[in-house]
A and B are shown apart, each in its own frame.
Chain A
Amino acid sequence: MNQFMEKLQNTDRRILFALIFLAMAYPMVKPFTLPMSITQEVKSLYDFIEKLGPNDVVLMAPDYSPAYAPTVGGACEAIYVHLMRRGAKVVFASFSPEGPMMAENVIASGTPAGKKYGVDYVNMGYRAGGEGAVAAALQDFPGVFPKDFQGTAIKDLPAVQNLKSAKDISLGVLFSTGGYAGGGWVRQLVQPYGKPFAAVVTGMMGPAHVPYYQAKQLVGLVVDMKGGAEYETLVKRPSGSLAGMGAQTLAQMLIVLYMVVANVTYLTLKKERTRTR
């Protein structure tokens, strides 16, 4: 028994990695879905967007890198699709260097037929400066984004012609994986202009953003792949996040199993060592 426990405790870590890989790969090849509840934070954002229409301009800041696309990218696409269905104008403006590329990916995969670049949606590119750039853009949008990502002047883009400052925005949505995150937008958009704002963040940032939602400074909060999967369910458009939830579930179960086995073996061997002394 003890020999088995010792063998188990000294399992080659590469075997553990391989098992994690298999646990993640299997549900992707043979997808399955599990029952999932919709959290109030996600539903409230969905409900808010349901009230938007063609006269509304929504500022989306995809401030995430390709490495984080599986965590917040699914939600970005689902929210974009929802906004397109509502007929709202979507303005992508990034404050992270990789942002414009992420926006291009979302536009490529989520734009419905009939929607036109420059009229219904636009990608304004990236501006350096973090929270300072956010504050400047909300104060004087054409001054900070005089051209779009492709170099087209703002006067030739009907989607942003009436967007002068934060006062013209109906909703701001940040997709963040670090940095100043939702707090910065609450400071620059919600408090000074009283404009609605929602945050889509990674799992580790989620708990830090809950107080903003509880204080009604966020109209919605989407956390990680699970939040993205919830939004995809609400808009009835299964995509990356829902597909990844099977892998997420199996991998998490395996990690919990690792933790249980590691603790059981550790405690058993410790007890045995104490007894033999």
Chain B
Amino acid sequence: MSARFGIYLAGIVTIALYSYLIGDNKMFKFAEHLYVGSAAGHAITMGYINIRDLGWTPLVTKGQVMLLIPILLGLCLYSRFTTKYVWVSRYAIAVTIGIGTGVGLRGMPSAQILSQLQASMVIKNANDFLAILGTLGVILYFLFIHAQNSVTKGFGRIGRWVMMITFGVGFGTSTFSMVARGTGAVTAILRMFGMVK
């Protein structure tokens, strides 16, 4: 019974959301609000579980007082709702960005610069040669965008072609991905009518 209800709900909400293609309407608005509401509700629940399991419970049961720091910083974020104390939230944001940057920087030079450089300098086949040519072309295109001579102009042209092809590939794969997502919506509608399992 509940599975059947879920199938109908998924189908109806999908149709309601895609009805926007015909034009804005009440069905779409309802589905849109339902989606935003349920997503927000789910995110709040998950956030609550995180704070309870990793913050509050260890603090009160194990006496891990250090956890007061992130909890207080988290509370500071809510000062954004007042104009007078909005500056307090900046400390919490600064700490968050600082930690995020620090963690992200760890391993970045070797992971995303050195290893990539090493890999792009090995020529085993025509693809590798094209990769080196494309890399040099794009770098030279941006380095000598203003001061060009015949050599940098030639490489720059290759770089421009490489970028155009890359953007084309990006567009193509985006379309591919969107169609793949669309199959989920079509399945939900067909499942409602019992046309697919």
Contact = CB atoms under 8 A, between A and B. Distances in A.
B25 interface: no
Contacts of B131: 214
Contacts of A146: 53-54
A168 interface: no
SS of B interface (majority): helix
A188 B106 contact: yes
A251 B103 contact: no
A144 B187 CA distance: 37
A70 interface: yes
Contacts, number: 143
A201 to B, nearest CB: 9
Contact of B115 (A21, A125, A215, A251): A215
Contacts of A132: 99-100, 103
Nearest to A216: B119
Contacts of A53: none
A186 B116 contact: no
B108 interface: yes
A112 B136 CA distance: 50
B180 A248 contact: yes
Contact of A71 (B108, B180, B186): B180
Contacts of A211: 116, 119-120
A244 B103 contact: no
- Which size bracket describes the interface of B in this complex? 35 or more
Which of B112, B169, B174 gathers most chain A CB within 10 Å?
Answer: B112
A135 B106 CA distance: 10
Majority-rule SS of A interface residues? helix
Nearest to A71: B180
Contact of A224 (B99, B108, B177): B177
Interface stretch (A42-50, A84-92, A157-165, A202-210): A202-210
Interface hub of B176, B179, B186 (most chain A Cβ within 10 A):
B179
B181 interface: yes
Contacts of A131: 100, 103-104
A29 interface: yes
Contacts of A215: 115-116, 118-119
Contacts of B47: 97, 128
A180 B106 CA distance: 14
Contacts of B173: 203-204, 206-207, 223-224
Contacts of B103: 131-132, 135, 188
Interface of A: 13-14, 17, 20-21, 24-25, 28-29, 66-71, 97-98, 100, 125-128, 130-132, 135, 144, 146-147, 180, 183-184, 186-188, 190-192, 202-204, 206-207, 211, 214-217, 223-226, 244, 247-248, 251-252, 255
14 contacts: A70-B187, A100-B46, A125-B49, A130-B100, A188-B106, A188-B107, A202-B180, A207-B170, A225-B180, A244-B183, A247-B179, A247-B183, A248-B179, A255-B179
Given A187-B106, A191-B107, 9 more contacts: A24-B186, A29-B190, A29-B196, A67-B184, A70-B180, A71-B180, A147-B53, A215-B119, A248-B180
